[in-house]
Amino acid sequence: MDDFGRTLNIHVAGCAESHQRLLQSLDSLTDDQCREPSALPGWTRGHVLSHLARNAESHVHVLQCAARGEVGEQYVGGAKARKEGIELHANDSAESLVSAVRKSIYALEGQWAATNSEGWQGHGVNSAGASIAMSDIVFLRWREVEVHHADLALAFTFADWNSTYVRYELDRQVMMWRASKPMGLTPVPKIALQLSPNERLAWFLGRTEVEGLPKPPSY
């Protein structure tokens, strides 16, 4: 097995585990809880769940396109269509929202298994118009699930993020940090390095503020 295959297997196993932890958190969710604010400004828990379902559906779509040798648009219609799709279902009942999340998860995991080698080598286009590699898309979904699970503001927090996900994500965030800074100002601040891995990542992703550190843009 090549390096890509090994990495893909790690991402698939990790994301599938995160999917199950998410579903466990939603077992007893009520309509009232879905109407309450999430940790994301302007979004209720219903918005977060609607987004998670739409996101999984969008991944199925671009993977299917890539498997046919096409470059698919993750959200057909771009950012506007993405926003409209989230809003359309944000006020659904808890039962409907959880059912949509569950169905979309199993459809996506089935698509991972069905995607051919051409598909994994392909590309898609996200809602911002940027190219996304299908070789990276499972990790991108893993990020969505881990981060937005905490954004639901239930019992799960960034302290509960999967340690393997955190390790992979921190490597990416550090590279992005260095690439975004002027020459000579690339090291991650010492204060950040003294944080636990989960708290450091939460700071990178704009999920926590740390005294003495600038506030990065939220993911």
β-pair partners for 124: 72, 132
Give mean pLDDT, residues 83-90.
97
Interatomic CA distance for residues 219 and 110, integer angstroms: 27
Give the whole-angstrom CA distance, residue 75 versus residue 98: 21
What's 72's DSSP letter? E
Give 14-36 pLDDT, tens digit per residue: 999 999 999 999 999 999 999 99
- Domain residue ranges in the chain: 3-156, 159-213+215-219
Beta bridge partners of 72: 124
Query: How confident is the model over 27-64, as pLDDT tens digits?
Result: 999 999 999 999 999 999 999 999 999 999 999 999 99
Residue 219 has pLDDT above 80, yes or no: no
Predicted confidence band at 95 (pLDDT cuts at 50, 70, 90)? Answer: very high
Instruction: Please give the pLDDT value at position 218.
Output: 63
Q: Is the pLDDT of residue 217 over 80?
A: no
- DSSP for residue 189: P
Q: How many CB atoms lie within 10 A of CB 215?
A: 10
Position with higher pLDDT, 108 vs 216? 108
Q: Which DSSP state fits 123?
A: E
- Can you tell me whether residue 29 is helix, strand or coil? coil
Which H helix or E strand runs over 90? none
Beta 123-125 vs 72-73: how paired, if at all? parallel
Closest CA to 97 of 180, 26, 197: 26
Per-residue pLDDT tens digits for 156-212: 999 999 999 999 999 999 998 888 877 766 788 999 999 999 999 999 999 999 999
Q: What is the rounded CA–CA span in Å between residue 105 and residue 111?
A: 10
Residue 162 Rama label (left phi>0; alpha psi -120 to 50; beta) = beta
pLDDT band at 1 (very low <50, low <70, confident <90, very high): low
Tens-place pLDDT, residues 114-144: 999 999 999 999 999 999 999 999 999 999 9
Asked if 102 and 116 count as a contact pair (C-beta separation under 8 A), the reply is no
What is the pTM (predicted TM-score) of this model? 0.95
Query: Which fold is adopted by the domain 3-156?
Result: Four Helix Bundle (Hemerythrin (Met), subunit A) (1.20.120)
Residues 6+ apart with CB under 8 A from 82: 54, 58, 74, 75, 127
Q: What's the confidence (pLDDT) of residue 180?
A: 80
